[in-house]
Amino acid sequence: MSFAGKVWRLLVGIKDALVLVFMLLFFVALFSILSARPSPGQVQNGALLLELDGYVVEERSEIDPIEALLSREAPVGEFPARELIQALDAAADDDRIKAVVFDLSRFLGGGQVHLQAIGEAIDQVRAAKKPVLVYAFGYGDDGMMLAAHASEVWVDPMGGAIIAGPGGAHLYYADLLKKLKVNARVYRVGTYKSAVEPYMLNAMSDEARENYAALYGALWEEWQANVVKARPGLKIDLATGDPAGWVDASKGDLAKAALAAGMVDKLGSRVDFGDRVAELVGDDPWDDRPGAYAATNLAPYVADSAPSKKGKAIGVVTIAGEIVDGDAGPGVAGGDRIAQLLDDALDDDLAALVVRVDSPGGSVPASEEIRRAILRHKKTGIPIAVSMGNLAASGGYWVSTPGDRIFAQPETITGSIGVFGVVPTFEGTAGELGVNSDGYRTTPLSGQPDLIGGFPPEVDRILQSSVENTYARFLGLVSKTRKMPVEQVDRIAQGRVWDGGSARQLGLVDQFGGVDDALAWAAQKAGLKDGEWHAKYLGVASNDYDSLLRRFIRSDDGQATAGADLFGMVARQQGQLKARLAQDLDRLIGIRSVQAYCLECPQQAPARTRSGSGAVLLQALGALLRN
């Protein structure tokens, strides 16, 4: 029996080894397939099909293919606004493209600046006498903002559309921290710097409410103006003034309610919609399924319509996502990574530099590292333009200060010139558990920071003084570059967040315009005419397998696969709530530098950071509170 057992164990070991080998070969083969570059040869006569299964973003985040394949959660789709605009601009003049089709069935949103820019590109397609058709099971605010520019808007008869407007609730943890006897030590400067309020209060402060009312009021006015201009027949008052009565009038049929409010043009299934597109562009020669039509997808079309690289290069560096220490990103603005990109470009003989910012801020040291790298380009004598996207607040404004000219849009969220730090100590929690801290100290700072025993007054004073000093530096940067007295900057700072229109009036922004306007200004300042320059985006683009990998793996977390009706929207919100809790807790307990971060800025996509400590603590807190 002993010999037989050894043979059996040997066979089992060989079997396990073969399984591992085959799994490795499978993933290598899969990696090779997914790494295939989109081919311009895939472009065919018909429609340009834009299936936006995820978020519109400034910069696509990088994913680890093996980690994504082995994990239980798939990355959510991300579509850089620049690629969508490039494709739409090319489609307007491309005889192969007979129509543009948007499938927004699983569209999760994007910032107002991005969506407005895409809407303007749609208008150019329509101006070229080409139809633009949109289909979705359900439309929210962001989907409606895109669809308003289309020539035909379709919705499934079982679907509908809802306009909610900006705003919502934040979570506040003061009572929870009190119950857990956690001392959230907050150090901040700025009357309106509300990023730390969730750890101090149980409700929004009057100052924060005032700031939110002004900011969201301006964004809401811009949203309505843009959508009504694009779709004059839309009855916003009907859909938002008494939404329950509006739905009741259609006996709960959201699709008919949307039709009555002029939000959509036609009700029909996906097959009905496909048949309509086929009437315009022709049948798909390779697909005879109902509703199929000739179409080219985004990736190959972007590869086919790559812009010219003639003439001098104008560098474009992208600062997207939270600004963090280290080399994180793309999709997260790692200070070391971006500074290295800028330093590497010093040898590229750039004619000018455009700094594209779409960030709520973050680490002050990382923001300063990026600012210094931009200044090294400025010392070469080239013009520097800053182009603000959806967000350029707090640390996002810090990195904008070196710009010779700052461009923003009315919907841009900027300002938030304030600084904070938060450090939790657990002396109360430890005492409740019977753990005490004691020892011998040669100075008041010996053994500090002591997260279990707490901080002496000297440490609190030093940390607060450091935050105040950083705030003074922030004011000084803005004062010098915007040519304002420090006292004037202080009055419009204090952590207050501004919409782009207000920021322009206050002198924080020079003029309205997008990245193309910033590039044109930089070219003009560099003495270059049209055709004598091209934009050179600094950094390595996301791997070509990213978009395919996002499609290949289906998420099981409910966010990307939940239905598109109202109950599906609730399911997605449930997943987002978990992420928000983890993010808030991570911001409390994570190891971070002093922060210039804008909590007031609405998130267009799930925040991407490097730390997972918040999720771990969330699980621990859940277990504790159940006891």
Residue of 111 and 595 predicted with greater confidence: 111
Mean pLDDT to the nearest integer, 244-265: 94
Name every residue whose Cβ is closer than 8 Å to that of residue 244 and which is 6 or more positions away in sequence. Answer: none
The lowest-confidence range among 142-146, 302-306, 520-524 is: 302-306
Average predicted confidence (pLDDT) for the chain: 85
Asked whether the predicted pLDDT for residue 51 surpasses 60, the reply is: yes
Positive or negative: CA dihedral 493, 499, 500, 505:
negative
Residue of 184 and 412 predicted with greater confidence: 412
Asked whether the predicted pLDDT for residue 579 surpasses 70, the reply is: no
Instruction: Answer whether 145's CB lies under 8 Å from 165's CB.
Output: no
Which of 40-54, 60-74, 398-412 is most confident?
398-412
Instruction: Answer whether 39's CB lies under 8 Å from 92's CB.
Output: no
- At 99, list the tokens: 């129509």
Q: In this predicted structure, what is the pLDDT of residue 39? A: 53
DSSP-based three-state secondary structure for 344: helix
State the alpha helices, DSSP H only, in 58-173: 65-70, 81-92, 112-127, 141-147
Asked whether the predicted pLDDT for residue 436 surpasses 90, the reply is: no
Q: In this predicted structure, what is the pLDDT of residue 404? A: 97
How large a percentage of the chain has pLDDT more than 70? 80
Q: In which residue are the tokens 């919705």 written? A: 155
pLDDT in tens, 526-565: 999 988 999 999 986 555 555 555 555 554 444 444 445 6
Q: Considering only CA atoms, which of 385, 410, 415, 383 is closest in space to residue 397? A: 415
In whole angstroms, what is the distance from residue 207 CA to residue 333 CA?
29
In whole angstroms, what is the distance from residue 115 CA to residue 8 CA?
63
Instruction: Answer whether 194's CB lies under 8 Å from 209's CB.
Output: no
Asked whether the predicted pLDDT for residue 571 surpasses 80, the reply is: no
Asked whether the predicted pLDDT for residue 495 surpasses 60, the reply is: yes
Instruction: Answer whether 389's CB lies under 8 Å from 408's CB.
Output: no
Q: In this predicted structure, what is the pLDDT of residue 169? A: 81
Q: In this predicted structure, what is the pLDDT of residue 624? A: 40
Q: In this predicted structure, what is the pLDDT of residue 261? A: 95
Asked whether the predicted pLDDT for residue 434 surpasses 70, the reply is: yes
Q: In this predicted structure, what is the pLDDT of residue 612? A: 45
Mean pLDDT to the nearest integer, 161-166: 92
pLDDT confidence bin for 83, thresholds 50/70/90: very high
pLDDT confidence bin for 197, thresholds 50/70/90: confident
Name every residue whose Cβ is closer than 8 Å to that of residue 625 and which is 6 or more positions away in sequence. Answer: none
Instruction: Answer whether 361's CB lies under 8 Å from 563's CB.
Output: no
Tell me which H or E stretch contains 318.
strand 312-320
Chain CA centroid to CA 225, Å: 23
Q: In this predicted structure, what is the pLDDT of residue 621? A: 41
What is the side-by-side order of every strand in the sheet holding 361-363? 183-189, 419-425, 595-597, 361-363, 323-324, 333-334
In whole angstroms, what is the distance from residue 278 CA to residue 282 CA?
5
Residue 28 zone, left/alpha/beta (φ > 0; ψ -120 to 50; rest):
alpha
For residue 449, cis peptide bond before it (omega within 30 degrees of 0) = yes
pLDDT confidence bin for 18, thresholds 50/70/90: confident
Residue of 74 and 514 predicted with greater confidence: 514
Tell me which H or E stretch contains 460.
helix 457-482
Q: In which residue are the tokens 């900027």 written? A: 414
Mean pLDDT to the nearest integer, 345-370: 95
Q: In this predicted structure, what is the pLDDT of residue 62? A: 78
How large a percentage of the chain has pLDDT more than 90? 57
**Domains of the chain, CATH where assigned:** 40-167+219-304 (3.90.226.10), 312-537 (3.90.226.10)
The lowest-confidence range among 53-62, 368-377, 489-498, 567-576 is: 567-576
Span between the terminal Cα atoms of the chain, in Å: 50
The lowest-confidence range among 166-175, 468-477, 589-598 is: 589-598
- At 40, list the tokens: 């311009």
Cα→Cα distances 563→102, 138, 192, Å: 18, 9, 38
Instruction: Answer whether 361's CB lies under 8 Å from 323's CB.
Output: yes
Mean pLDDT to the nearest integer, 87-107: 95
The residues assigned a catalytic role are 193, 394
Residue of 37 and 390 predicted with greater confidence: 390
pLDDT in tens, 273-308: 999 999 999 998 888 899 899 999 998 999 888 888
In whole angstroms, what is the distance from residue 583 CA to residue 502 CA?
30
Centre a 10 Å sphere on the Cβ of residue 459 and count the other Cβ atoms it contains.
18
Residue of 50 and 561 predicted with greater confidence: 50
Q: In which residue are the tokens 């600084």 written? A: 419
Asked whether the predicted pLDDT for residue 466 surpasses 80, the reply is: yes
